[in-house]
């Protein structure tokens, strides 16, 4: 894929998708550090998507921006002659003490990657389910302080139950 150059102040979702797919093909992975490096030149299509004023945001913030760009993109893959949507999924680093960042790969690629990459992505998903459950437990605790909204408390309890069910299902798969 050829590098596209910026044509306006804000790139379209399609232009961002195209550029991230190009970067993925060239580097065999999407890493926030790579996306920021590719976006650094002013003529880069992705350049307007980042805050470059260091008094406003430094490099770490641009990495957060890169992660957000990667997560919202829906690349298209060809299956049986039809374009179908895919998603980029985060695969944590195999050795976090050496490399903190991890990589993003399309779901279609994760299926054919070494099993440990899939297992790392799956473990991260399970961790997010547990974190969501914990955050809802915190909210339930905050709600118990007052009796203002019984309906809200019931919805939080239902969400916690749903996440407990999801967590049990994830654990059974793992």
Relative orientation angle of helices 13-27 and 59-72, to the nearest 10 degrees: 100
Percent of the chain surpassing pLDDT 70: 93
Residue pointed to by tokens 């970067």: 23
pLDDT digits (tens, 9 = 90+) for 130-149: 999 999 888 887 776 655 67
For the chain, the domains span: 13-106, 119-173
In this structure, how many other beta carbons lie within 10 angstroms of the beta carbon of residue 71? 12
Residue indicated by tokens 């307007």: 48
Better-scored residue on pLDDT, 171 or 130: 130
Q: What does the alpha-carbon distance between residue 85 and residue 97 come to, in Å, rounded to a whole number?
A: 34
What percent of the residues of the chain are helix, what percent strand, and what percent coil, each to the nearest 5? Answer: 55, 10, 35
Contact 173, 119 (CB under 8 A): no
Spatial distance between the Cα atoms of 14 and 17, rounded to a whole number of angstroms: 5
pLDDT in tens, 24-81: 999 999 999 999 999 999 999 999 999 898 887 888 889 999 999 998 888 888 778 8
pLDDT for residue 7 is more than 60? no
The Cα 140–Cα 129 span in angstroms is: 16
Residues in the chain: 174
Contacts 24+ apart (CB under 8 A), 120-124: 120/91, 120/92, 120/94, 121/89, 121/90, 121/91, 121/92, 122/170, 122/173, 122/174, 123/92, 123/174, 124/90, 124/91, 124/92
């Amino acid at each position: 894929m050829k590098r596209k150059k910026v044509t306006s102040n804000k790139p379209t979702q399609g232009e961002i998708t195209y550029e991230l797919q190009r970067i993925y093909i060239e580097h065999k992975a999407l890493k926030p550090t790579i996306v920021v490096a590719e976006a650094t030149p002013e003529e880069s299509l992705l350049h307007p998507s980042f805050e470059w004023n260091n008094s406003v945001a430094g490099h770490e913030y641009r990495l957060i921006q890169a992660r957000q760009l990667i997560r919202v993109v829906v690349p298209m893959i060809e299956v049986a002659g039809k374009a179908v949507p895919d998603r980029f999924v985060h695969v944590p680093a195999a050795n976090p003490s050496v490399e903190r960042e991890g990589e993003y790969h399309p779901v279609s690629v994760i299926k054919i990657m070494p099993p440990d990459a899939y297992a790392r992505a799956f473990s991260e998903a399970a961790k997010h389910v547990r974190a969501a459950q914990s955050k809802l437990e915190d909210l339930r605790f905050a709600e118990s302080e007052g009796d203002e909204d019984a309906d809200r408390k019931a919805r939080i309890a239902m969400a916690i139950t749903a996440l407990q069910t999801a967590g049990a299902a994830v654990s059974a798969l793992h």
